[in-house]
């Protein structure tokens, strides 16, 4: 295990470790406008949503590591107190990347990237027409985290209006994660396409799981079942009753009398199919 004191390595190297380990990160494609009315567009992956009531998002344009310069986005947000946060999907990822080029102040990244400026309803900065979801925001506060290169600047934004392309909604009016096709930032030059890696896990708060501590020792110490497998097993509200196990065994006699390793292997196969009930019954068959 490599153990590092952040103060003992160059900021650029620390920056690389942080971005490589804290990933993937959502992207705030931030549109601002300066005091003279010049549009600016730039992506930031130090970003997330932090509140629904009020609707608050925070993103952080960090000072450049090498030149210790502030971003035009930060300067504009402090001047005008307004910003539009556009989400980035796969269809615009290359144009988004192009807009991150360090163009001189006053250059319109909408034009450089070929993206379309769309007038906002409540703020002056333009929306990205091609973005599937756009958030018009007012800037509530800017918190400066330092004065050296690499220091972040938290721009705390309150959403005053949002716009959603209906093409990314499902039949219930909710955002379909496959249709919206978001991308996220990782370390170096890497991105990830969110929909290619989706999987579902039942939320623990939906049920009161028995917990891994309630799992019999023989199962907890399995060399076949993984920590993830144990987590799934511990997320049931109650273990199958003896009657349930006996009935399962009558229908599936092939699982009776198995040695532990084989029993655990079959249980793992059921877990891989999201059939937690059958997995538990196999494990509890004598």
What percentage of the chain reaches a pLDDT higher than 90?
A: 80
pLDDT band at 201 (very low <50, low <70, confident <90, very high): confident
**pLDDT exceeds cutoff 60 at 205:** no
For residues 193-219, average pLDDT: 83
Instruction: Map tokens 């399962």 to a residue.
Output: 248
Among 168, 28, 46, 34, residue whose Cα is nearest residue 84: 28
Across the strands, what pairs with 48? 58
Strand 153-164 versus strand 39-44 pairing type: unpaired
DSSP string for 85-131: EE--BGGGHHHHHHHTS-PPTT--HHHHHTPPEE--SSSSSPEETTS
Indicate whether 92 pLDDT > 90. yes
Alpha helices in 121-241 (DSSP H): 177-180, 217-220, 227-233
Task: Give the model's pLDDT for residue 208.
Answer: 81
- Give the per-residue pLDDT at 207: 66
CA 257/CA 251 separation, integer angstroms: 14
Query: In the chain, where does DSSP find H-type helix?
Result: 11-21, 72-80, 93-99, 109-113, 177-180, 217-220, 227-233, 242-251, 260-272, 276-284
> Tens of pLDDT along 2-54?
999 999 999 889 989 999 999 899 999 999 999 999 999 999 999 999 999 99
210 Cβ contact partners less than 8 Å away, ≥ 6 residues apart: 234, 236, 237, 238, 239
CA angle 18, 51, 76 (to 5 degrees): 70
First to last CA, the chain: 42
Classified by CATH at the fold level, domain 6-197 comes out as Pnp Oxidase; Chain A (2.30.110)
Helix, strand or coil for residue 204? helix
Q: What is the rounded CA–CA span in Å between residue 235 and residue 211? A: 6
pLDDT digits 0-9 by tens, 211-265 = 899 899 999 999 999 999 999 899 888 999 999 999 999 999 999 999 999 999 9
CA distance 75 to 61: 10
206: pLDDT strictly greater than 80: no
Tell me the per-residue pLDDT of 99-132, one tens digit each, with 9 for 90 and over.
998 888 889 999 999 999 999 999 999 999 999 9
pLDDT recorded at residue 21: 95
What is the number of other CB atoms lying within 10 angstroms of the CB of residue 191? 20
Dump pLDDT digits (tens) for 46-91: 999 999 999 999 999 988 878 788 889 999 999 999 999 999 999 9
pLDDT of residue 210: 86
Residue 149 has pLDDT above 90, yes or no: no
The pLDDT value given to residue 150: 84
Task: Give me the residue spans of the domains in the chain.
Answer: 6-197, 204-284
pLDDT at 209: 85
Contact 248, 285 (CB under 8 A): yes
Nearest in space to 84 (alpha carbons), one of 31, 18, 37: 31
Average pLDDT for 182-193:
94
């Amino acid at each position: 295990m490599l153990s590092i004191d952040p103060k003992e390595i160059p900021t650029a190297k620390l920056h690389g470790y942080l971005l490589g380990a804290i990933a993937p990160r959502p992207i705030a494609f931030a549109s601002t406008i300066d005091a003279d009315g010049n549009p600016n567009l730039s992506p930031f992956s130090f970003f997330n949503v932090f509140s629904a009531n009020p609707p608050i998002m925070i993103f952080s344009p960090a000072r450049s590591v090498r030149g210790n310069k502030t971003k035009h986005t930060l300067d504009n947000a402090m001047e005008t107190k307004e910003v539009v946060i556009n989400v980035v999907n796969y269809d615009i990822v290359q144009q988004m990347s192009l807009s991150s080029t360090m163009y001189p102040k006053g250059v319109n990244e909408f034009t450089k990237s070929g993206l379309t400026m769309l007038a906002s309803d409540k703020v002056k900065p333009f929306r990205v027409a091609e973005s599937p979801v756009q958030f018009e925001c007012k800037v509530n506060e800017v918190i400066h985290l330092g004065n050296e290169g690499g220091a972040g600047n938290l721009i705390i934004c309150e959403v005053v209006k949002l716009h959603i392309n209906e093409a990314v909604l499902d039949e219930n009016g909710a955002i379909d994660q496959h249709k919206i096709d978001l991308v996220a930032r990782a370390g170096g030059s890497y991105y990830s396409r969110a929909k290619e890696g989706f999987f579902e896990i039942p939320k623990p708060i939906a049920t009161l799981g028995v917990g891994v501590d309630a799992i019999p020792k023989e199962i907890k110490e399995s060399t076949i079942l993984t920590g993830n497998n144990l987590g799934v097993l511990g997320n049931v509200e109650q273990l199958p009753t003896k009657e349930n196990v006996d009935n399962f065994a009558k229908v599936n006699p092939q699982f009776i009398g198995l040695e532990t390793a084989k029993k655990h292997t079959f249980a793992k196969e059921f877990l891989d199919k999201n059939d937690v009930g059958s997995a538990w019954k196999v494990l509890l068959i004598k």
